[in-house]
Amino acid sequence: MAALRRSPAKITLNNDGDNTQQELALISPDSEIVAPEPSPEPSPAVAGEQPANDLAASEVSNEANNGNGNGDGDDDSEERKARLGTRKRIIRRQLNRSEESEGDQAGTDEQPETVASQTPAAPALPPVSSYEAEQNGSGYPQRKDQRNGFRSRLPEDSRGRQQDEMRNRQMDDNRNGQKRGPGNVPGFIHKQENMQRLDSQLREESSRPDNTDTRARLSINDLTGMGFKELRDLGAETGLNHEEMMLLRKQELIFQILKAHTERGGIIYAYGSLEILPDGYGFLRSPQNSYLPGTDDIYISPSQIRLFNLKTGDTVYGQIRSPKEGERFFAMLRVEQVNFDEPSVAQNRIPFENLTPLYPEVRFNLETETKETSTRIINLFCPIGKGQRALIVSPPKTGKTILMQKIANAITTNHPETYLIVLLIDERPEEVTDMERTVKAEVISSTFDEQATRHVQVAEMVLEKAKRLVEHGKDVVILLDSITRLARAYNQTVPTSGKILSGGVDSNALHKPKRFFGAARNIEQGGSLTIIATALVDTGSRMDEVIFEEFKGTGNMEINLDRRMSDRRLFPAINIKKSGTRKEELLLTEEELQKIWVLRKVISPMDDLEIMELLIDKMMKSRNNEAFLKMMNTPVGD
């Protein structure tokens, strides 16, 4: 009789046609596996003969009795008890299986010889379902993960309890209308039902007859432009409590004033830039708040977005209504204008990406007054056209902010039809206030004490708004200060690619700033987008140098400011030799072009400081640029 001896403990494997020998081979390594000689042919049980399963159980009980009757108090009694408990559990499981597995017993006679004739390694047994019939020492089966080969030691009962608890929690959440995770469909359906109900209410209210001529009107944008004192006076007129108004912030106070106005029968109008959220609906963000989300934002339903073909960045104007019970925001009732045109125009527009870009062909006239030599010099030596992609290269303290203010005022004075946006990224708050009071344009800002994600959000909203206006055939100018700080913000927000350039710049960080700057173009079908951005140099930061080098060849117009001139208080501190415009022959007249070429040849041997002093002196003595060119007494073609 072949045997695999592991310890004095012994359990007999019977070949009576069931799978007992397989399961008893799973006993702990301390047991002894004995395979008896196979009988020639199975004989039925006779009176007084013990069945195989009962015999195995009796042997285990006898061994337990022998172990308990030693009385010698060995230290391994606890270990023996643990082994006995494991064997009893296995035998009970086999007794249950033997009652169910009746029938086919072919081939079982050779099984004991196979087990007994194996090498001293543990016998290999076929897996049972998704579990392997092995014992890991803890009494729990192991689950085999077919994907990565790892095994879980979690008990089967514990897994079942966890699944039941998770299922019960999900059922409770579904009953309460709550949402647990993205896979909870009832919560999503509940949200969709609310949106559909609100859409139907807005359609019903907008279809009613318009009787707004006799009702008092109030604009949210006008309230946003007021100060606290004016708002509190207006709130007192509408019946708000003075003590409660003192505790409210500006947006909360505007919300209460508008709500009281509608309760008294008035109507509300508002405009803003649309931001569409992933759920399908959107909100109008106020430009007075630099597109920062707030309580006075206006809700735009998905049906209105589909009806008027609205996109993120669209400037929408219309009548709104106050929030009803259970609502938090004002809702758009009637859309009257989209990007300052009729709503039907937005339904047939061509996307910005499909418009044909061209070189700038129409020049912005920046000449305003005699004493404004900065804009007069730019108008001649580096003209700015509609659709220009201009870069102002500026060391610190060279007057770039003042130069941008003068350019902005010249555009608003000579080209009032142009929509001008001043975008200040990572700037000081006092400079934002100064720009708002100096320039008659839409000033959007994100100060240095805000997060980089806020800088990115503001820049993307401004770009989308400019694209939507260009799609409607309008000329848009963006003054960006500065593109270096915008690239820094993107460098902090983009996912790390693992490829770091010199100065700590991620290789993917400059893609979106380039896309922003590259959006400037002159459109063949009408409209243009002009971007005039500043780039910081000589700051002592290697990152700023890398960013400037990446943007150096992307623009088609460049103005270089000189630190030596600003140190001598010589403004504008423009380096004429390094500044210029590509394809300037498309922007200047033939006479202007010839005289500018001659003037550049004359001043080329001179020092940069001498050139600027000469130009300022001659321009102050001439009334305008035309008179300045006539002072040269140079015939055309000379």
Would you say residue 260 has pLDDT above 90?
Answer: no
The mean pLDDT of 149-177, rounded to a whole number, is 51
The torsion of the CA quartet 218, 224, 226, 232, rounded to 10 degrees, works out to: 80
Would you say residue 213 has pLDDT above 80?
Answer: no
Three-class HEC string of 76-113: CHHHHHHHHHHHHHHHHHHHHHHHHCCCCCCCCCCHHH
Q: What is the pLDDT of residue 86?
A: 81
Q: What is the pLDDT of residue 581?
A: 94
Band (pLDDT 50/70/90 cuts) for residue 404 is: very high
Q: What is the pLDDT of residue 295?
A: 76
User: How do residues 36-76 score in pLDDT, each as one tens digit?
Assistant: 444 444 444 444 444 444 444 454 445 444 444 444 445 56
Comparison of pLDDT for 617 and 201, the residue scoring more: 617
The Cα 437–Cα 29 span in angstroms is 88
Rg (CA), the chain: 42
The Cα 469–Cα 287 span in angstroms is 15
User: How do residues 102-113 score in pLDDT, each as one tens digit?
Assistant: 544 444 444 444
> Comparing 215-348 with 356-629, is the CATH topology the same?
no
Q: What is the pLDDT of residue 247?
A: 82
Q: Sign of the C-alpha dihedral, residues 54, 59, 64, 69?
A: positive
Q: Which residues pair with 389 in a beta bridge?
A: 531
Contact in structure between 235 and 278 (CB atoms under 8 Å)? no
Band (pLDDT 50/70/90 cuts) for residue 205 is: low
Question: Domain extents for the chain?
Answer: 215-348, 356-629
Comparison of pLDDT for 306 and 84, the residue scoring more: 306
Q: What is the pLDDT of residue 466?
A: 95
- Amino acid identity at 635: P
Q: What is the pLDDT of residue 465?
A: 95
Contact in structure between 275 and 291 (CB atoms under 8 Å)? yes
The Cα 415–Cα 441 span in angstroms is 12
Please give the span between the terminal C-alpha atoms of the chain, in angstroms, as a whole number. Answer: 122
User: How do residues 263-286 score in pLDDT, each as one tens digit?
Assistant: 888 888 989 999 999 988 999 998
Would you say residue 364 has pLDDT above 50?
Answer: yes
Q: What is the pLDDT of residue 149?
A: 42
Residue 251, Cβ neighbours under 10 Å: how many? 17
Band (pLDDT 50/70/90 cuts) for residue 516 is: very high
Contact in structure between 473 and 533 (CB atoms under 8 Å)? no
Look at residues 85, 82, 83, 105 and name the one whose alpha carbon lies nearest to residue 93: 85
Q: Which residues pair with 298 in a beta bridge?
A: 284, 330
Contact in structure between 275 and 289 (CB atoms under 8 Å)? no
Look at residues 467, 459, 421, 425 and name the one whose alpha carbon lies nearest to residue 440: 421
Band (pLDDT 50/70/90 cuts) for residue 450 is: very high
The Cα 314–Cα 337 span in angstroms is 10
Q: Which residues pair with 277 in a beta bridge?
A: none
Structure tokens at 341: 């045109």
Q: What is the pLDDT of residue 211?
A: 53
Burial pattern 541-570, b for ≥16 Cβ within 10 A else e, equals eebbbbbbebbeeebbbbbbbbbebbeeeb
Q: Is 275 exposed, middle or buried (0-12, 13-18, 19+ CB in 10 A)?
A: buried
Would you say residue 430 has pLDDT above 90?
Answer: yes
- As a whole number, the mean pLDDT across the chain is 76
The torsion of the CA quartet 429, 434, 440, 441, rounded to 10 degrees, works out to: -20
Would you say residue 122 has pLDDT above 50?
Answer: no
- The CB-side HSE value for 219 (13 A sphere, CA atoms) comes to 12
Q: Model-level pTM greater than 0.75?
A: no
Contact in structure between 268 and 255 (CB atoms under 8 Å)? no
User: How do residues 453-492 score in pLDDT, each as one tens digit?
Assistant: 999 999 999 999 999 999 999 999 999 998 999 999 999 9
Q: What is the pLDDT of residue 21?
A: 45
Band (pLDDT 50/70/90 cuts) for residue 15 is: very low
Q: What is the pLDDT of residue 257?
A: 86
Would you say residue 522 has pLDDT above 80?
Answer: yes
The Cα 55–Cα 466 span in angstroms is 90
The Cα 121–Cα 137 span in angstroms is 17
Q: What is the pLDDT of residue 441?
A: 92
Q: What is the pLDDT of residue 171?
A: 55
Q: What is the pLDDT of residue 207?
A: 54
Give percent above pLDDT 70 in the chain. 68
Would you say residue 91 has pLDDT above 90?
Answer: no
The Cα 514–Cα 43 span in angstroms is 90
List phi, psi (to 5°) of 347: -75, -20
Would you say residue 13 has pLDDT above 80?
Answer: no
List phi, psi (to 5°) of 285: -95, 140
Q: Sign of the C-alpha dihedral, residues 150, 153, 156, 158?
A: negative
CATH class of the domain comprising 215-348? mainly beta
Domain covering 356-629 in this structure, CATH number:
3.40.50.300
Q: What is the pLDDT of residue 472?
A: 93
Would you say residue 231 has pLDDT above 60?
Answer: yes
Would you say residue 1 has pLDDT above 60?
Answer: no
User: How do residues 560-583 score in pLDDT, each as one tens digit?
Assistant: 999 999 999 998 999 999 999 999
The mean pLDDT of 27-44, rounded to a whole number, is 45
Structure tokens at 94: 């086999």
Look at residues 545, 554, 564, 551 and name the one whose alpha carbon lies nearest to residue 608: 564
SS3 assignment, position 253: helix
SS3 assignment, position 495: coil
